[in-house]
Protein backbone atom coordinates (compact mmCIF):
# COMPACT_ATOMS: atom_id res chain seq x y z
CA UNK A 1 0.00 0.00 0.00
CA UNK A 2 1.22 3.53 -0.79
CA UNK A 3 2.72 5.45 2.11
CA UNK A 4 0.31 7.79 3.88
CA UNK A 5 0.74 11.40 2.77
CA UNK A 6 0.71 14.50 4.92
CA UNK A 7 -2.80 15.21 3.60
CA UNK A 8 -4.13 11.84 4.77
CA UNK A 9 -2.66 12.59 8.19
CA UNK A 10 -4.46 15.97 8.21
CA UNK A 11 -7.73 14.34 7.06
CA UNK A 12 -7.40 11.70 9.80
CA UNK A 13 -6.73 14.41 12.40
CA UNK A 14 -3.23 13.09 13.14
CA UNK A 15 -1.61 16.44 12.38
CA UNK A 16 -3.21 19.87 12.66
CA UNK A 17 -4.20 22.24 9.86
CA UNK A 18 -6.37 25.31 9.42
CA UNK A 19 -9.51 23.64 8.11
CA UNK A 20 -11.80 26.19 6.42
CA UNK A 21 -14.44 23.84 5.05
CA UNK A 22 -15.20 20.15 4.97
CA UNK A 23 -17.86 17.79 3.79
CA UNK A 24 -18.22 14.05 3.14
CA UNK A 25 -15.99 14.17 0.08
CA UNK A 26 -13.29 16.78 0.67
CA UNK A 27 -11.64 19.16 3.05
CA UNK A 28 -10.29 22.65 2.45
CA UNK A 29 -7.22 23.88 4.34
CA UNK A 30 -4.98 26.93 4.21
CA UNK A 31 -1.72 26.26 2.41
CA UNK A 32 1.19 26.28 4.86
CA UNK A 33 3.37 28.16 2.36
CA UNK A 34 0.96 30.50 0.55
CA UNK A 35 1.85 31.70 -2.94
CA UNK A 36 -0.88 34.36 -2.92
CA UNK A 37 -2.72 36.30 -0.18
CA UNK A 38 -5.49 33.70 -0.47
CA UNK A 39 -4.14 30.20 -1.08
CA UNK A 40 -6.16 27.20 0.01
CA UNK A 41 -6.10 23.53 -0.92
CA UNK A 42 -9.16 21.43 -1.69
CA UNK A 43 -8.35 17.79 -0.97
CA UNK A 44 -10.56 14.75 -1.52
CA UNK A 45 -10.74 12.39 1.44
CA UNK A 46 -10.01 9.56 -0.98
CA UNK A 47 -6.21 9.40 -1.47
CA UNK A 48 -5.87 9.46 -5.26
CA UNK A 49 -2.14 10.11 -5.84
CA UNK A 50 -2.33 12.20 -9.04
CA UNK A 51 -5.10 13.52 -11.28
CA UNK A 52 -4.07 10.99 -13.91
CA UNK A 53 -4.71 8.18 -11.40
CA UNK A 54 -8.39 9.08 -11.13
CA UNK A 55 -10.67 6.65 -12.92
CA UNK A 56 -14.18 6.40 -14.24
CA UNK A 57 -15.44 5.61 -10.74
CA UNK A 58 -14.07 8.99 -9.54
CA UNK A 59 -16.23 11.03 -11.95
CA UNK A 60 -18.65 12.19 -9.28
CA UNK A 61 -15.79 12.93 -6.87
CA UNK A 62 -14.02 15.12 -9.47
CA UNK A 63 -17.24 17.01 -10.19
CA UNK A 64 -17.78 17.44 -6.47
CA UNK A 65 -14.31 18.95 -6.07
CA UNK A 66 -15.01 21.51 -8.79
CA UNK A 67 -18.33 22.49 -7.24
CA UNK A 68 -16.67 22.69 -3.81
CA UNK A 69 -14.01 25.06 -5.16
CA UNK A 70 -16.76 27.37 -6.42
CA UNK A 71 -18.57 27.18 -3.09
CA UNK A 72 -15.36 27.88 -1.15
CA UNK A 73 -14.50 30.80 -3.47
CA UNK A 74 -17.89 32.31 -2.66
CA UNK A 75 -17.39 31.75 1.06
CA UNK A 76 -14.00 33.47 0.84
CA UNK A 77 -15.54 36.33 -1.18
CA UNK A 78 -13.21 35.78 -4.14
CA UNK A 79 -15.73 34.36 -6.63
CA UNK A 80 -15.00 37.05 -9.24
CA UNK A 81 -11.26 36.39 -9.52
CA UNK A 82 -9.46 33.23 -8.58
CA UNK A 83 -7.28 30.60 -10.17
CA UNK A 84 -7.41 26.83 -9.72
CA UNK A 85 -4.26 24.79 -10.22
CA UNK A 86 -3.60 21.04 -10.16
CA UNK A 87 0.01 19.92 -10.38
CA UNK A 88 0.27 16.42 -11.80
CA UNK A 89 3.66 14.75 -11.35
CA UNK A 90 6.97 15.82 -9.91
CA UNK A 91 8.14 17.68 -13.03
CA UNK A 92 4.92 19.70 -12.93
CA UNK A 93 5.67 20.76 -9.37
CA UNK A 94 3.63 18.18 -7.45
CA UNK A 95 5.18 17.57 -4.04
CA UNK A 96 2.34 15.85 -2.17
CA UNK A 97 1.06 12.75 -3.93
CA UNK A 98 -2.54 13.01 -2.81
CA UNK A 99 -4.67 14.82 -5.39
CA UNK A 100 -5.44 18.43 -4.44
CA UNK A 101 -6.63 21.64 -6.07
CA UNK A 102 -4.93 24.94 -5.29
CA UNK A 103 -7.32 27.91 -5.10
CA UNK A 104 -5.38 31.16 -5.40
CA UNK A 105 -6.83 34.66 -5.15
CA UNK A 106 -6.38 38.26 -4.03
CA UNK A 107 -3.36 38.72 -6.23
CA UNK A 108 -2.89 40.25 -9.68
CA UNK A 109 -2.71 37.44 -12.22
CA UNK A 110 -0.93 38.44 -15.41
CA UNK A 111 -3.44 38.66 -18.24
CA UNK A 112 -3.52 35.85 -20.77
CA UNK A 113 -0.79 33.99 -18.98
CA UNK A 114 -0.51 30.94 -16.75
CA UNK A 115 2.53 32.45 -15.08
CA UNK A 116 4.94 30.19 -16.92
P1 LIG B 1 1.85 20.53 -4.76
O2 LIG B 1 3.23 21.13 -4.88
O3 LIG B 1 1.93 19.06 -4.45
O4 LIG B 1 0.93 20.85 -5.88
O5 LIG B 1 1.20 21.25 -3.51
C6 LIG B 1 1.42 20.85 -2.19
C7 LIG B 1 1.06 22.03 -1.33
O8 LIG B 1 0.88 21.57 -0.01
C9 LIG B 1 2.15 23.10 -1.29
O10 LIG B 1 1.62 24.34 -1.72
C11 LIG B 1 2.58 23.13 0.18
O12 LIG B 1 2.87 24.43 0.64
C13 LIG B 1 1.38 22.52 0.89
N14 LIG B 1 1.72 21.79 2.10
C15 LIG B 1 2.71 20.88 2.25
N16 LIG B 1 2.70 20.39 3.50
C17 LIG B 1 1.67 21.00 4.15
C18 LIG B 1 1.16 20.90 5.48
O19 LIG B 1 1.63 20.15 6.33
N20 LIG B 1 0.09 21.68 5.78
C21 LIG B 1 -0.49 22.51 4.86
N22 LIG B 1 -1.54 23.24 5.27
N23 LIG B 1 -0.04 22.63 3.60
C24 LIG B 1 1.04 21.88 3.26
Any domain includes 96: yes
Any domain includes 46: yes
d(CA 12, CA 65): 19
The answer to whether residue 98 is catalytic is: no
d(CA 51, CA 18): 24
* Domain coverage including residue 42: 6-105
Any domain includes 111: no
d(CA 55, CA 97): 16
Q: How many domains does the chain have?
A: 1
Can you give the pLDDT of all 116 residues of the chain as single tens digits? 567 999 999 999 999 999 999 999 999 999 999 999 999 999 999 999 999 999 999 999 999 999 999 999 999 999 999 999 999 999 999 999 999 999 999 998 887 767 65
d(CA 91, CA 15): 27
Any domain includes 65: yes
Give me ligand 1 centre to Cα 6, in Å. Answer: 8
- CATH number of the domain where residue 79 is located: 3.30.428.10
Counting atoms of ligand 1 from 1, which one is nearest the CA of 39? Answer: 10
Give me ligand 1 centre to Cα 56, in Å. Answer: 27
Q: pTM of whole model > 0.85?
A: yes
Amino acid sequence: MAEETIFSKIINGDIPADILYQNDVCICIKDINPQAPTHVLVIPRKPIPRLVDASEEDKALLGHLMLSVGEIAKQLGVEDAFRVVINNGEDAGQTVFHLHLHLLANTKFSEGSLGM
